[in-house]
Structures are given as C-alpha cells and as structure tokens.
Chains A and B, each alone.
Chain A
Amino acid sequence: MSVKTEAIGKEWPATTYEVGKEKIGEYARVVGLDNPVHFDREAAKAAGYRDVVAPPMFCVVYGAPALGPAMFDDEVGMNFAAMVHGGQEFEWGEPACVGDEITTTARCLEIYEKDGKGFYVFETRSVNQDGAEVAKGTWTNIVRGV
C-alpha cells in the first residue's frame, strides 16, 4: 500500500467564524493566560486593540472548522487509527478581536511517503472581514505503516 497523491493542491470550501468574547476567555483560561487583554474590553483598548483580543493560538479555534473536511476527505484517505500530529507552524498577522469574522480556507500542500510513513501536509489561511490575513497554519500529520 502507498499514499494517494491525487488530493495535492485540492482546496476545500471556506468556513467563517465570528470571534466571541467568552470563547476567547474560555480558551485563554485553559492554557493559563491571565493577561486582561484576553478578558477585559477596557484593558484591551488601553493596550491598543479594537476589542478583547484572542491569544495567538486561538487560531486553532477559528481555523479548525475549515480543516476538518480536508482531513476526512476520502481523496486524501488518511488512516486515522495510525495518525499522529507530527508538526505545526503558525504565522500571525493582524490580531483577531471580538466581533471579527474570520474566513479560513484549507488546502492540501503535500502528500508523500518517507521511511514507511505517510506525510500529509495541509495549509490554512485565515483572513478577517477587511481581507487582512490573521493567521497562516501548516499542519503536518504522519500516518505509520502506509
């Protein structure tokens, strides 16, 4: 058996996520962040933000809905039982604040085989309502025994 490569370059339908204040707070508390800019509107504004600002890694919250259909696509054909999340990169641009409508598009960058493992690399690009890029993600999943 070997990896299928037909899905390289495939792009999936964009998803849009509206950023909410309590969701930012929930995420920030779980990772132990206590900076008031993630909880308090006045503190965020005093620090120069339009509104309560999301922690950078909140990009997994608004980005994941776009990635789901890509990972479960039969054309990609990833074997979930043998999959691990191997690597992850994010680059951040404009901060994500409460009220932003963030649209994310997922694309398959690479599928290849190396040392008996399948590597599946996806990209997500997230832009806000003004068209400014807020985050770009590169997601690498590794499947053993392809």
Chain B
Amino acid sequence: MAELKAGDAIPELRLTPDKYLPHRYAGASGDFNPIHIDPEFAKAVGLPNTILHGLFMMGLVARAATDAGGGDPKALKRLSVQFRGMGAPETEIVVSGTVESVEGGTATIDVVAAQGENQTIRNAEAEVVVA
C-alpha cells in the first residue's frame, strides 16, 4: 500500500544503459531487430547509431510506476505509452512522473522517460492499485 495523492511526484528512476544493454534486452525479450544491436545496420538505415528498444524503456516506466505503488508487480493494472524519441545506450535515462488522480483505490500516474531534453516516452499513463 502506498500513500499517493493527486499532484505527488513519484520517486525518480535513473539508469544508464551500458553499451551492451540492447544485446541483453534482445536476448531477454526475443526482439533481435538489428537497429538495436548492429551499428552498421543502424547507420545504413539512417540512424545515428544503435538505439534502445522502446519496450525496454517502457519496462523502466513500468518499474517506476510499480515502485510508486509500493513494489508489488500485480498492482500495475494498465500502462499506455507513446514513443516519441529514440533512446541511446550509454546515456542516462530519467523516469519521472506525477500522480494525476487517486480514485476507487487506483492511482493514475502521468510518466515521462527522458535522456536530457529528449523525451523518449511521453504521454505515458499508468494505473496502479494503491488500496
């Protein structure tokens, strides 16, 4: 059980994915799209370099929202995100959020994942059971 009320900021989650993180995420998730693991391929399709998996960053958003609700994984009931920027390895990701409302034992949290000014995930909305 977590004491959350509208307007509260949730604890920030900070993580710097190392160079090989996309390889490990590819293995863990089964998503071996070469834009995430092969710099030559990524550059050939017009990207600056390999990019992070969007669903990896969504995994961090899910983690931050779950932690805000007290840490029990089944408390997270819904998560909706929009991918709006490419994430890069070896750059710190900051996940932050604000509680929009708490109604009927469910907190709705607005979450953003960013690398500096680059908001890789925004308009994310998480529903977490808090009571």
Contacts and interface: CB of A to CB of B under 8 A. Distances in A.
* A and B are interacting partners: yes
What does DSSP make chain A's interface, helix, strand, loop or mixed? mixed
Interface in A62-80: 64-65
Contacts of A35: 71, 73
A87 B80 contact: yes
Given A88-B83, A91-B78, A33 B63 contact: yes
Nearest to A87: B82
A95 B76 CA distance: 10
Given A61-B30, A84-B83, A88-B80, 17 more contacts: A27-B29, A32-B15, A32-B60, A35-B73, A53-B73, A54-B73, A55-B66, A56-B66, A60-B55, A65-B30, A81-B45, A85-B83, A86-B83, A88-B54, A89-B79, A91-B77, A91-B78
B99 interface: no
6 contacts: A30-B21, A31-B60, A33-B63, A55-B63, A86-B83, A88-B83
Nearest to A88: B81
Interface in B16-51: 21, 24-25, 27-31, 45
A132 interface: no
B68 interface: no
Interface string A39-56: 000000001000001111
A61 B73 contact: no
Interface size class of B (residues with CB under 8 A): 20 to 34
A92 interface: yes
B72 interface: yes
Interface size class of A (residues with CB under 8 A): 20 to 34
A87 B82 CA distance: 4
Contacts of B79: 56-57, 89-90
A55 B29 contact: no
A55 B74 CA distance: 8
A50 B78 CA distance: 22
B127 to A, nearest CB: 8
A125 interface: no
Contacts of B71: 35
A92 B129 CA distance: 12
A87 B107 CA distance: 21
A132 to B, nearest CB: 13
A26 B28 contact: yes
Contacts of B59: 30-31, 55, 57
Nearest to A47: B72
B130 interface: no
Contacts of A107: none
